[in-house]
Amino acid sequence: MLDSTYDISDNFITQLCNTIETIISQAECERISEYELIKCLQSGRFQILNKLSMSQSDQLFQLHFLVFHALYKLRIKLQSNKVGYLKISPLSIEVCALSTMISHNQTLDLIDPLAEYYLNLDNLKNITSEEIEHLILSFWKSTQNPNGHLDSLRILELSPPVSYTEIKKQYKRLASKYHPDKGGSTTLIQAINQAMATLSQHYKNGNIR
């Protein structure tokens, strides 16, 4: 269980939500990143969440979770007041007009698994340091190579959309064709095996059907 740096009371969350709303409404550009938002929150003007450091894994996760918890609560508030729809991602946080979303046939995430996760503070309180390290490692891996599964598909001479059954069938065909015992390349077979491992991981995570 994670030791929280703050007493996460209703008043604390309300203050955080109100401060984030102020920052977003006064932002010089239409959107702001999570990093920029955190820097603003910890600045001399607001001095909120400034006990948490981005250089320590446990504290970084607390920062991220509390900010996203407040953002999703703010999304509900803005939408219920018909002010707008808050788009939330680490790289871009922005308020969009509801009319714009509807005119572009964009869904309003009525069922959003991420919202359900971040709105439940028990997910912050009950996480372990080991789980945090795993989450951060997985995030950086996906950031450094977000299109890894596409590269893997190309190695297997496939292109999306493709089913996992087709991927396995193609892998077996190429593994047999390029096996070193049949005069194939050791380097190529290693690349084929790594590609299959990557695609299998994506499939298990629900990213490929």
- The stretches of 45-128 forming alpha helices (DSSP H) are 57-80, 98-103, 113-119, 122-125
The correct CATH number of 148-204 out of 3.40.190.10, 2.102.10.10, 1.10.1130.10, 1.10.287.110 is 1.10.287.110
Look at residue 105 in the predicted model and tell me its pLDDT: 45
Look at residue 76 in the predicted model and tell me its pLDDT: 93
Radius of gyration over every alpha carbon of the chain, rounded to an integer in angstroms: 22
Look at residue 147 in the predicted model and tell me its pLDDT: 62
Q: CA separation (Å) from 100 to 25, 82, 103?
A: 18, 12, 5
Two structure tokens written together for 33:
């990143």
**Strands lying side by side in the sheet with 31-32:** 31-32, 93-96, 85-88
82: Cβ–Cβ under 8 A, 6 or more apart, which residues? 98
Domain ranges of the chain: 10-144, 148-204
Look at residue 1 in the predicted model and tell me its pLDDT: 54
Look at residues 175, 165, 155, 144 and name the one whose alpha carbon lies nearest to residue 208. 165
At 136, which amino acid appears? Answer: I
Look at residue 104 in the predicted model and tell me its pLDDT: 47
Q: What is the mean pLDDT of each run of 10 residues along the chain (209 residues)?
A: 73 95 80 90 92 87 93 94 88 81 51 79 87 69 60 86 89 85 73 82 59
Look at residue 55 in the predicted model and tell me its pLDDT: 83
Query: Distance between CA atoms of 88 and 115, rounded to whole angstroms?
Result: 10
Look at residue 145 in the predicted model and tell me its pLDDT: 56
HSE toward the beta carbon, residue 161, CA cutoff 13 A: 4
Q: CA separation (Å) from 59 to 18, 123, 129, 185?
A: 22, 15, 10, 47
Coil/strand/helix, residue 159: coil
115: Cβ–Cβ under 8 A, 6 or more apart, which residues? 72, 75, 109
pLDDT digits (tens, 9 = 90+) for 30-54: 788 899 999 999 999 999 999 998 8
